[in-house]
Amino acid sequence: MSDQAENVRKLLAENALLQKKIAELEELAALHRRAEGEIRKRDAQYQQLVAHAPDGIFTIDGEGRFLFVNAAFCRMLGVGPDECLKLNILDTYPDTSMPDGLKRLADLQCGEALRFERPLRRQNGSIIIVSANAWKDPDGNLRAIVRDITERKRMEEALRRSEEKYRNILENIDDGYYEIDLAGNFTLVNDEISRHLLYTREELIGMNGRRYMDEETFQALTRHYLELYRTGKRIQKYAFEIIRKDGTRGFSEISVALIRDDRGNPIGFRGISRDVTERRQMEERIRQSEERYRTIIEQIEDGYFETDLRGHLTFVNEAECRNLGYSREEIIGMNHHQYADEKNAALLFNLFYGVYKTGIPVRAQAIELIKKDGARHFDEISVALIRNAKGEPTGFRGIARDITERKQLEEKLRVISITDELTGLYNRRGFIAFSEQHRKIAVRTRQAMLLFFADLDKLKEINDTFGHQEGDRALVEVAEILKSAFRESDVIGRIGGDEFAVLVTNATAAAGGLLSARVQEILDRRNQGQSRGYPLGLSKGVAPYDPDHPCSLDELMSRADERMYRQKTNKLSDR
């Protein structure tokens, strides 16, 4: 019995142990089922995350074939998922050659990752720029996450160009540009600041204002910076004295604003600086000159005048009284209509009005004026605005110089430059200038003209036989003949030693023979009535200007000269 009881006891113990093992296995099975459910849940979440991720995600095999793509990557390529899975990674590159980046990806070891940027060709042929993070999985496939950074790249390029543009502006403007920190130390300067202070850029960076101005100036400027820091109100055109590296002094005029960080906190100042040393020196010279103003005005040889905005004279010096021939009492209150004709009064009005509208002085404008005795003379005037303390225009001041003699001399020189001194006719320069004017009119109005050439025969024989003085008299007589034969409106000139030319306006080819006959008739009468010891002879050539077939003046002169030479040759052969 004892053995049987023992066996029962052992069986019960084994059964209890078996029940325990079964319970443990059932618990493990439950845990496994829960784990599988969690894995499926997480896998579904992962798939959901990948499917809706804003970045493109894909997997390719060793041949570059797409094994997986998410919706974002399909949108990048511009194709659907099924079509995308038919593509090769090479199809997304701008060309079909094996890109270096793809070679590096192929050489990746499992677990290694590579970050890079590359162009990605969409199916419509357009190119976008993407950043990629790629790695190789245990199966040897390449996985990658890509992000479209085209817009960012565009903005970076726009920012780069903007920075380059403004950097070029800062380096090329005539004014200085600088930035300082809150302690007043330079953090950025352009070349103009260096030129003004005579320090190099390297020397200026980190330099404090105390180094280039005296203490009193520094303290005054610091108060302005503190006020700007406290209120944010810009400093506008504040001028102060600076001390250059070589010890010389100058003046700067600055306009300054705060520099703020992204949160709006002040971190420094930026400003535009202008070298106004010359202007300040000029202001000082003007101040000093004003002390001598009245004395100088009365002593200068040029006329000085002031008017109100309506043009009435309010002040003149003695020289201006002499210019116009009036006493000072008579001239005060006069308007320009009283000492200029209608044309020049209008010129004066426009001149003064232009100065008033623009504020820009007029320099050396020549105007014809009428003196008290009716004589006309020329003044060269310079005019500027007179302003009150508020900068408002109140009148005009000017300098008037009598240039009558100069104008007369200029006119004499002009006449001399286009006139043959011996005959009083136009010289070659004058003849061509006036003839060209008439030719242009003829082109525009379609008028016919004639060019008449005449050459004094045997001038050399006359000079050799009777002397050059007699030869000159012969040339003068030919000039008189031509002036008798042609109209005042025709252009007559001596264009060479013994050559003359006449441009006959508004004349057809049919008039050529009549004009030649008229010249010959007058020449014959002169020869019959003169006892000079030799006959005057002229070789003539006429070239018509046809408005239906216009030509240049040179061409017309060549034709007339050729016909004149032909007549001269025929005369020689008939002798």
Tens-digit pLDDT profile for residues 364-414:
788 888 888 888 888 888 899 999 888 899 999 988 888 877 777 766 767
pLDDT given for residue 128 in this prediction: 92
Residue reference for tokens 């600041």 = 193
Nearest to 318 by CA among 308, 337, 309, 331: 331
pLDDT for 512 equals 86
Q: What is the 3-state secondary structure (H, E, C) of 282-315?
A: HHHHHHHHHHCHHHHHHHCCCEEEEEECCCCEEE
The residue type found at 231 is T
Phi and psi at residue 535, to the nearest 5°? -90, 145
Helix (H/G/I), strand (E/B), else coil: 29: helix
Q: What is the identity of the amino acid at 80?
A: G
The per-residue pLDDT for 165 is 67
Q: Residues 324, 339: contact at Cβ < 8 Å?
A: yes
pLDDT of residue 296: 67
Q: How do 538-545 and 449-456 pair as beta strands? A: antiparallel
What pLDDT, on a 0 to 100 scale, did the predictor assign at position 171?
Answer: 66
| Long-range Cβ contacts of 307-313 (<8 Å, 24+ apart) | 307/352, 307/395, 307/396, 307/397, 308/394, 308/395, 309/356, 309/393, 309/394, 309/395, 309/396, 310/335, 311/335, 311/336, 311/348, 311/349, 311/352, 311/396
**pLDDT value of residue 134:** 87
Q: Give me the residues of the chain with pLDDT under 50, please.
A: none
Calculate the CA 2 to chain-centre distance.
124
Q: What is the pLDDT of residue 493?
A: 93
**Cβ-contact 105, 114 below 8 angstroms:** yes
Task: Order across the sheet with 362-370: list the strands.
Answer: 313-316, 303-308, 393-402, 376-387, 362-370
Sole residue written with tokens 């001038």: 459
Tokens of 228: 């700007």
Pair of tokens at residue 161: 């160009």
pLDDT of residue 270: 92
pLDDT at position 100: 63
Cα separation, 221 vs 380, whole angstroms: 47
Q: What pLDDT, on a 0 to 100 scale, did the predictor assign at position 558?
A: 93
Q: According to the model, what pLDDT value does residue 480 have?
A: 93
CA distance 130 to 251: 54
Note whether 269 and 258 are within 8 A (CB): yes
The set of residues, in sequence order, having a beta carbon less than 8 Å from that of 118 and lying 6+ positions away, is 93, 99, 101, 129, 130, 132
Nearest CA among 340, 360, 339, 342 for reference residue 351: 360
Distances (CA, A) of 254 to 32, 208, 231, 327, 455: 79, 16, 18, 50, 76
Cβ within 8 Å of residue 177, ≥6 positions away: 170, 188, 189, 190, 192, 193, 270, 271, 272, 273
